Structure 1
Amino acid sequence: MLFHHFKVLIRTLLRNKTYTALNIVGLTGGLIAFLLITLYVQYEFSFDQYHENKDRIYRVVKQNKGSEYFGSDRYAVTPPPLAPTLQEEFPEVEAATHLYAPKSTLIGVDQATYLEEKVVGASPEIFDIFSIEILSGNQGELLTEKYSGVISESLAQKYFGNASPIGQTILYKGSHPYTIVGVMADLPANSHFRMDLLLDFAGMLDTEPATMDQWQNNFFYTYCLLRDEATPQELEAKLPSIVAKYLTDANGGGAFNNTRFYLQPVPSIHLQSRINFEINPNGDIRTLRVFILIALLILLIAGINYINLSTAKAFRRAREIGIRKTIGAHRRQLVFQFLGESFFLTFCALILTLVVVHYLLPGFSEFVGRDLSLSPVGQIWLIPFLLVVFLLVGLLSGLYPAVVLSSFKPLSILKSHAPSGQKKSTLRNTLVVAQFAVSAALIISTLVISRQLNFIKSKDMGFNREQVIVLNIRDFELRKKTQTLKEELLRIPEVKMVSTASDMPNFFDSSTGANWPGKPEDVDVRLYTGQIDYDYLDLFEMELAEGRGFSREYGDEKNAVLLNESAVKALGWEEPIGRQIFKWGRDTATVVGVLKDFHHNSLHLSIAPMQLFFTASSRQVAVKVSGKNMAETIAAIEAAQKQFAPNYPVEYQFFEESFAQAYESEIKTGKMASWFTLLIIIIACLGLYGLSAFTAEMRIKEVGIRKILGASVGSLLLLLSRNFLSLIILAFLIATPLAYYFMSLWLENFVYHIDIGLSVFIWTLVAMLAITLLTVGYRTLRTALGRPVEALQQED
């Protein structure tokens, strides 16, 4: 019996090659997108899940009420004494540690030097809290000795090859010796922090300023492991006592009445933490929810295609069903047969999906910046997941067609050759509207995202960001010689101008409370603060609203300050030139100029008050180049820096690239949305093509009669297409308000954004009508151009 059903299935599929191909291609396209998105989403949710005690590990986060920075008053960094205080004074805490993670640290090994991004300082308790696999060394003794370190397996291979790293010496910051006492396995990539070199925290502090171990400094990430019987609520309720006891005028150097600490579960950090000074860039759960919705919609549309095409073909299979029922076939046998077809097609589509995803995954992984894998090794969820998808897609896609087809009454079928299709036609029309409503909403969303990104690219930010190369100066000795470096760089023919500063115009990350002589006690103004040299404004073509910029004519401008227009407004000064302001709370500086407002952070945030002081040397050097012979120019710039800091690798980046990084999430979201929108449209068009072919086939005699009576090809084309066009317009009307609402919410993430104009909806409607006419028109045109005699000879 099974073999008989299988023979019927194969014959049916081969007899209807076009519909079979449309179904397989549609299901495959939907499954490809669904599987790619699922792999990405699962990876994002897997961050920090590998820790054995993940449910008891918390990060301590600090909140400074009333002190907003980058739109948030919460900070991931905390004072260094916090970790030992938690462990000593609170019985709920089993272990606590702090991490110190300086960026781009110079490491010396023998005669070579390396610039490493994943150097972390910690106390020995880190091994009690996190699941870190130790390959060599005694875990109970690691980091207990001063100036000791633990190296990752990959970094040990890089530094020492196949030789044992135990007992080897490395130079922290190129000059401070540390002894390697252990080797750890590389941390999984799905961790919110990375470590290639783990150094003794106390030893690292010896190389930093003396105040680094004080309560008023916040450079450290604090983690604690709670005891089994303890709850985070119990510990959080006691944390205000730390503020009262240690963050006071006598101990902390200032009042901290608005400071509080709270606990954050470590597994939630990657997706649900939107606070300042994260140890690494995080993901965004809101974006993931959008992609999950898109994945489900794509799969739904692929299933709708199958239902539409299967029920449409019911009219062609009516006689087969009638005959089979007449000779004794039971309804459940027919249901089993049609479900078998659905599962067989789904199986074929799933196999084809796995093959295609295997080849697409490397490129997709590179695009999303994640190491995704299709291998079930290490991903025990994958095989059960694929099995569930196979069963659900096969069942949901095939159940309704199976029930409908098996319900035909044999007598009525054999008398009229086809069952009544009114209810089925209504259902098909509803499903078509649903498909294209989703397509329309995604087209609108993609256009809005694209226009917002174009707005960002073209908006006048208040500075010129073209043809600028930025050097990051890590060597403190070189920072003292930046004027000499500038002179050397200016000797390069393609270099037009050079400037040094603490920050580039698109990202000032330091802020302080404003203070000036006669400041009212009830006024609180925070100013973003930076340092620039004489050439900064000219290099970036920034404009002054009044006064002057820093000038060599006035010599050392250490007692001068520039404000932006927002700062003048926030301070309430009608005539700012000549006013005094305290420079970091000590010496006073005189306002010599007011800058026109420029976007010193991304367009997600409004322009904030800021002050700029003078510096002759700092951590970044901007080099304006002509744009010609770029490779030779970069090589000359590298050679110039190497003259002064031969041990430091040259770090450079085009300013345009760093500017775009602020919108990396939106750029990737836009690209992914575009590709998946295109896929949804293709899948929907496949179904539309199949339905148009079926409609043309069902009305072929009518077309023949109309042609004999003189109907033109154009009128026949309109006759066969107008039903689909009306469905598309209805889908557009349904999608428009939904898309407008959700994209308005998305644009609220930007303080500066476009307005969703009428043109977005007009272009969407035009695109949908054009797609429909191209899809439907091709098949209906063939019918309309056919010979009437052949049409009238078609068998009912």
Structure 2
Amino acid sequence: MLKNYLKIAFRNLTKNKVYTLINVLGLSLGIFGSLVIFQLIKFHLLTDSHHHKAENIYRVVMNLHLDDGSVEHEKGSPYILHEALKNDFSSIENVAYLGQQELTLSIPTQNGSSTKFLEKEAAAFIGADYFKVFDYQWLIGQSAALNTPNTVILTEKYAKKYFGEVNPINKVLIINNTTPVKVAGILKDIPETTDLKTEVFVSLPTLKTIVNDDSFTEWAWFMKQRETYIRLKENTAKAAFEAQLPAFSKKYYGEMSKYYRFQLQELSDVHFDLDFGGKISKSNIYLFSAIGILLLVVACINFINLSTAQSFKRFKEIGVRKTLGSSQTQIIWQFIVEVSLITLWAVFFAVIFAYLATPLVNNWLNINITFRQFFDTQMLFFLPILIIFTIIVAGLYPSLVVSGYNPIHVLKGISKSSKTGLSLRKGLVVSQFSVAIVLVAVAILVVWQIRFLHNKDIGSTKDLIIHVQVPNTENLETLRNQITQKPFVESVSFARRAPSAEKGGSGGTIKFKNRDWEKFVARSKIADENYLNTYQIKLLTGRKPVASDTIREILVNRKLVKDLGLKTPESILNKRLLVGDANGTGVIVGVVADFNNADLYTPIEPTVIFSLKQRYRFAAIRLNKYSSEVLAELKGIWSGIYPNEVFEYSFYDDELAKLYKREEITRNIIISFALLTIFISCLGLMGLVNLTVSQRTKEIGIRKVLGASVSSITFLLSKDFLKLVFVAIIIASPIAYYFMNQWLNSFAFKVEIEWWVFVLSGVFIVAIALLTVSYQSIKAALMNPVKSLKTE
């Protein structure tokens, strides 16, 4: 029986080549889109899930509750926290400290020189307990080596990076040109699906020889790069453990514990919690899932439309088969076999598309998977489910409709369900284009908002500014003097952070004159006297501070003046301000215009600008032109002053662009899938128009003989389809508005949803649909009427 089904299926599919091609292409694009979305979602959902008993692993984070009711979120933790947790809680199985730090690593060579590497994110200080919390595969060595000072563990990739194919064990690396560490072990490369990107594991006892400050004993010393993870014992519930944390905080913070509140963050949430530095929100995961499902459904709708519209051609076949004794079930299976063949061909082409598009997908979605990883175990499990889903959705309804025809009616060419089928097809076409219009409208808004984010006046200039890391605060004036002598340099400033940078940053409470500590937090911009000139921040009143290595003269922004309740910027001049973040007092000498401290998700914050040389991290160099020669000259000057360091630079505008990487990924997905949806919908529309033309060939010939023009016949064939597109616009617009509004609510600064967004998306869809319909209609209208009237 199956052989007979396959024979008839092949015969029908080859007989109707155009419709077979349209169905295969439409389904293959839908399946390809679903595969891409599945990989994207899997990539994010599986992040750090490979660790043994991951459900018992938590990151200890801090919520800083302020007097004004606001809450500051801090993923970092004091160094001393991991030791206190280990001593105070018997319900903790293991505690892992992760102290990421930017390090310069040098490899001595035989000629007395060295090869240097600047590791900004790959290096961290950890203890042996880290490997009791997280799972790594050891190739050589044991975790106990990290209890010894001056040892380091490398991943296989970084061992090859530093030493090539030479055995790295007992080889020496020099940290920051001062501290030698010996390679004591090699780990298998970490998976891509992890947020724990450490590749160079320096033993924790070595940290105190590198860093010399109070951060090891101070409970109020938080650094984003220093994190604490714990693994709870299996019989310990998260809620029960968190109930003990207020008392723990009280023990170490005393009366200040009302501000410092610890919280456990499940390892599975670390990747998705944007408040604590997550990479992507779960709402975006749900959005991408919905887009992938909708794309596949749109492709299935194409199949349903074409199958039901074309079913009249098989009236006699169905009638004869029923008359000869075929049951409805047998006819259903015949159609299911045909759908299965089309689906399998579609899967085949979808796999080819995936192979060709893998590099583009990686680039657009900011992931890194190979084609072999694309079709991993999870994909091989997902693919059969996808095939079955497609066959059921695309094939079940058409097979039920066709198999349910009365044999007497079908042999006479009568279909009682034709009106119902026509109404369904119209509804499905409207659904297709409604989805397309929603995606196009949202894509337009996302592009508009991203352009707004990149171009908005943030209160400072971002073009032609290069940030160059400084390894220490020695010789800064020498560096400035030599750089400013170059004709292409306009200004140089040393600072800890740029005016606009990643969310958060340093800050604290302030005390104005003889008042109590203010309830709000003021952000600190630690910078020298040239900060305003370099970034072109507008000075509203007062003057710029004089040069100083410590906090003496202070600038504040307009927002801080307002939050202090003062009426004019001038009223704050020459008043003293105690800055908690600097633990020092200075005189306010100027007020600057408001500028954005962080990304545009965050509103304008009260800000103080003051000098503190020991905290400077980079030189901001404002240029009047840029070229490779300019960069080479800057590097030459820098290397002459810091010959033992690695020259590291970045462009300020590139740093700002990275703040909106998530939005760019969202934009790429929506635009790509909007175009795929439009293309698939137009494929179906083209098939329906082609079918309509074939049914009305004689009518077209008669109309031409009677004098109908090409334009009138084209309008006749196009108007019904274009009506459906207009209905789709009406339905899709409020849906699109809802999703636009929900997405924009996360931004403090955003565009307004304008009427033209809906008009533009509607015009675009109508133009595409009109082009698709008109091509077939004009082709039919130009046909020789003699040939049309001969058509049976």
Q: Is the 8 A contact 2:64 2:71 kept in 1?
A: no
**1:514/1:558 Cα in 2 relative to 1: closer, same or farther (>3 Å)?**
closer
Partner of 2:746: 749
| 1:564-643 correspondence to structure 2 within 5 Å | 564-574=557-567, 575-584=571-580, 586-614=583-611, 618-628=616-626, 630-643=627-640
Once the two structures are TM-superposed, the CA of residue 600 in structure 1 deviates from its matched residue by: 2.3
Deviations 1:544-587 (A, max 9, x none): 211122357xx889521111100110112231111110244654
Q: Is the 8 A contact 1:152 1:185 kept in 2?
A: yes
Once the two structures are TM-superposed, the CA of residue 177 in structure 1 deviates from its matched residue by: 2.2
Distance in 1, matches of 2:215 and 2:534, equals: 35
Partner of 1:501: 495
Partner of 1:252: none
Deviations 1:9-34 (A, max 9, x none): 22211221111110011011111111
Partner of 2:188: 185
Partner of 1:536: 531
Partner of 1:344: 341
Distance in 1, matches of 2:349 and 2:708, equals: 45
Q: Is the 8 A contact 1:84 1:97 kept in 2?
A: no
Higher mean alpha-carbon deviation, 411-420 vs 560-569, is at 411-420
Once the two structures are TM-superposed, the CA of residue 616 in structure 1 deviates from its matched residue by: 6.4
Distance in 1, matches of 2:402 and 2:373, equals: 38
Query: Aligned AA for 2:133?
Result: I
Query: Aligned AA for 1:689?
Result: M
Partner of 1:109: 107
Partner of 1:231: 237
Once the two structures are TM-superposed, the CA of residue 533 in structure 1 deviates from its matched residue by: 2.6
**1:68/1:303 Cα in 2 relative to 1: closer, same or farther (>3 Å)?**
farther
**1:68/1:410 Cα in 2 relative to 1: closer, same or farther (>3 Å)?**
farther
**1:557/1:41 Cα in 2 relative to 1: closer, same or farther (>3 Å)?**
closer
Deviations 1:164-214 (A, max 9, x none): 333333222221122322222222221121221212223212332341222
Partner of 2:461: 464
| SS of alignment partner, residue 81 of structure 1 | helix
| SS of alignment partner, residue 78 of structure 1 | coil
Distance in 2, matches of 1:505 and 1:210, equals: 26
Q: Is the 8 A contact 2:495 2:618 kept in 1?
A: yes
Partner of 1:482: 476
Once the two structures are TM-superposed, the CA of residue 689 in structure 1 deviates from its matched residue by: 0.6
Once the two structures are TM-superposed, the CA of residue 397 in structure 1 deviates from its matched residue by: 0.7
Query: Aligned AA for 1:627?
Result: K
Distance in 1, matches of 2:783 and 2:68, equals: 72
Q: Does 1:169 align with 2:172?
A: yes
Q: Is the 8 A contact 2:274 2:280 kept in 1?
A: no
Partner of 2:545: 550
Distance in 1, matches of 2:691 and 2:417, equals: 15
Query: Aligned AA for 1:532?
Result: A
Distance in 1, matches of 2:412 and 2:512, equals: 97
Q: Is the 8 A contact 1:319 1:418 kept in 2?
A: no
Distance in 1, matches of 2:71 and 2:750, equals: 20
Q: Does 1:319 align with 2:316?
A: yes
Partner of 1:269: 270
Distance in 2, matches of 1:264 and 1:538, equals: 42
Distance in 2, matches of 1:323 and 1:119, equals: 76
Higher mean alpha-carbon deviation, 314-323 vs 19-28, is at 314-323
Q: Using the aligned pairs only, state the percent identity.
A: 29
Once the two structures are TM-superposed, the CA of residue 540 in structure 1 deviates from its matched residue by: 2.3
Q: Is the 8 A contact 1:413 1:419 kept in 2?
A: no
| SS of alignment partner, residue 457 of structure 2 | coil
Q: Does 1:247 align with 2:241?
A: no
Partner of 1:35: 35
| 1:121-140 correspondence to structure 2 within 5 Å | 121-139=125-143
Distance in 1, matches of 2:164 and 2:710, equals: 77
Deviations 1:591-621 (A, max 9, x none): 1111111222211111100010135682221
| SS of alignment partner, residue 247 of structure 1 | helix
Q: Is the 8 A contact 2:66 2:519 kept in 1?
A: no
Distance in 1, matches of 2:613 and 2:148, equals: 41
**1:158/1:291 Cα in 2 relative to 1: closer, same or farther (>3 Å)?**
same
| SS of alignment partner, residue 522 of structure 2 | strand
Distance in 2, matches of 1:231 and 1:384, equals: 33
| SS of alignment partner, residue 147 of structure 2 | coil
Q: Is the 8 A contact 1:57 1:266 kept in 2?
A: yes
| SS of alignment partner, residue 594 of structure 1 | strand
| SS of alignment partner, residue 416 of structure 1 | coil
Distance in 1, matches of 2:213 and 2:205, equals: 12
Distance in 1, matches of 2:229 and 2:612, equals: 37
Query: Aligned AA for 2:686?
Result: Y
Query: Aligned AA for 1:382?
Result: M
Deviations 1:330-372 (A, max 9, x none): 3222211111110000000101111120121122113322222
TM-score normalized with structure 1 length: 0.94
Higher mean alpha-carbon deviation, 736-745 vs 147-156, is at 147-156
Distance in 2, matches of 1:731 and 1:107, equals: 61
Q: Which runs of 4+ in 1 moved over 4 A?
A: 417-420, 555-558
Query: Aligned AA for 1:261?
Result: F
Distance in 2, matches of 1:467 and 1:232, equals: 50
Deviations 1:47-91 (A, max 9, x none): 11111121211111111112799x852211122222222222212
Deviations 1:431-464 (A, max 9, x none): 0011011011111101111111122233222222
Q: Is the 8 A contact 1:53 1:130 kept in 2?
A: no
* Equivalent residue pairs, number: 776
Aligned alpha-carbon RMSD (Å): 2.1
**1:67/1:295 Cα in 2 relative to 1: closer, same or farther (>3 Å)?**
farther
Query: Aligned AA for 2:485?
Result: R
Deviations 1:282-332 (A, max 9, x none): 222222211111100000000000010111110122122222323333322
**1:768/1:161 Cα in 2 relative to 1: closer, same or farther (>3 Å)?**
closer
**1:67/1:354 Cα in 2 relative to 1: closer, same or farther (>3 Å)?**
farther
TM-score normalized with structure 2 length: 0.94
Structure 1: unaligned runs, 5 residues or longer: 250-254
**1:47/1:587 Cα in 2 relative to 1: closer, same or farther (>3 Å)?**
closer
Query: Aligned AA for 1:232?
Result: K
Query: Aligned AA for 2:492?
Result: V
Distance in 2, matches of 1:500 and 1:126, equals: 36
Partner of 1:306: 303
**1:304/1:530 Cα in 2 relative to 1: closer, same or farther (>3 Å)?**
same
| 1:282-293 correspondence to structure 2 within 5 Å | 282-293=279-290
Query: Aligned AA for 2:127?
Result: S
Distance in 1, matches of 2:67 and 2:281, equals: 24
| SS of alignment partner, residue 646 of structure 1 | coil
